[in-house]
Amino acid sequence: MDLSKTGKFIAEKRKNKNYTQSRLAEILGVSEKTISKWECGNGFPDTTLILPLARALDISANELLSAKDLTGEQYRLQAEENLVILKSQQEATNRQMLALEWVVGYLSTLTFLVMIAVGSFLVKPLEWQICLIVFGFLNLFVGAMTAMKIERNVGFYECGHCHHKYIPSFKSFFFSMHMGRTRYMKCPNCGRKSWNKKRSGK
Ligand SMILES: [Zn+2]
């Protein structure tokens, strides 16, 4: 995605509509600075703003993503291409998030072990030992919760029976048995329990 091309396209369409940057910002409920950032090619609208922006500019989301006016066959081909691009961007983000989950998990476990070791053997006054151990556990808890939140939100789970793909509720996710990222959960579609594999795309 060429951000400066998209920026110029947004500016052009905005001027066609006789909107100032501040008027467009008002319509979309964002700051004027945000519009200027997009138009200068220093950013791209959030997924949630793509449709509202396209509508405000009287273009299709497809045209916005392609940064050009599209007609007929061209439109269909470009739509397919954009779908593939968006999908691969999503998958790349998912992979990054899952890598982040490992980092968070390992770091918090490591900090936990160091704090417990230091708290138990090295530091002398009892108050300090208690402090270190309490913070060690707190740190482990926050790390584990963060890692789990990341894991639940990335991609989806696939039922072992009916292959239904879904995102579990935090409760059922939290209390499920797991081996790595595969979790034993009840499928909301067929209602049967099985080991559900994590899928980050496709
Ligand atoms: Zn199922």
Q: Is the pTM of this model over 0.85?
A: no
For residue 79, tell me if it sits in a domain: no
For residue 115, tell me if it sits in a domain: yes
The rounded Å distance from CA 10 to ligand 1 centre is: 44
pLDDT digits (tens, 9 = 90+) for 35-71: 999 999 988 888 889 999 999 999 988 899 889 888 8
For residue 102, tell me if it sits in a domain: yes
Domain that holds residue 176: 156-199
Whether residue 185 sits in one domain with residue 141: no
The rounded Å distance from CA 162 to ligand 1 centre is: 4
Helices (H), 44-177: 47-56, 61-66, 72-117, 126-153, 170-174
For residue 77, tell me if it sits in a domain: no
For residue 46, tell me if it sits in a domain: yes
For residue 76, tell me if it sits in a domain: no
For residue 17, tell me if it sits in a domain: yes
- Tell me the three state secondary structure of residue 50: helix
Task: Write the burial class of residue 84 (CB in 10 Å: 0-12 exposed, 13-18 middle, 19+ buried).
Answer: exposed
pLDDT digits (tens, 9 = 90+) for 106-129: 889 998 998 888 888 877 788 888
